[in-house]
């Protein structure tokens, strides 16, 4: 289990160890979060804006 901090409410967000970037999770406070993994393999979350990003085809 990986735990990160919710950027909205500051509370703890529990993620599975095998979480992948781009995964969408909902936090207890009601916000929808997108999982991101930075270059150091650090898992973070950011508020999901609800737009599907174009990754290129
Ligand atoms: Zn929250």
Predicted TM-score (pTM) of the model is: 0.79
Once rounded to an integer, what is the mean pLDDT over residues 45-56? 78
Domain range annotation of the chain? 2-47
Residues around ligand 1, an ion, CB closer than 5 A: 6, 8-9, 11, 27, 29
The tokens describing 53, both together, are: 């990003």
Distance 56 CA to ligand 1 centre (A): 31
Question: Contact, 34 vs 47, CB < 8 A?
Answer: yes
| Mean of pLDDT over the chain | 91
Once rounded to an integer, what is the mean pLDDT over residues 13-23? 94
CATH of 2-47, one of 3.40.50.10330, 3.30.70.270, 2.20.28.160, 1.10.1740.10: 2.20.28.160
Query: CA-based Rg of the chain, rounded to a whole angstrom?
Result: 11
- Provide the terminal-to-terminal Cα distance of the chain, rounded to the nearest Å: 33
Distance 13 CA to ligand 1 centre (A): 7
Predicted confidence band of residue 52 (pLDDT cuts 50, 70, 90): low
Distance 8 CA to ligand 1 centre (A): 5
Helix (H, G, I), strand (E, B) or coil at 23: coil
């Amino acid at each position: 289990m990986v735990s990160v901090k919710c950027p909205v409410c500051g509370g703890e967000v529990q993620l599975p160890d095998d979480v992948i970037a781009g995964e969408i999770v909902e936090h207890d406070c009601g916000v929808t979060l997108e999982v991101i993994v930075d270059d150091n393999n650090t898992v973070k979350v950011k508020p999901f804006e609800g737009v599907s990003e174009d990754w290129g085809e």
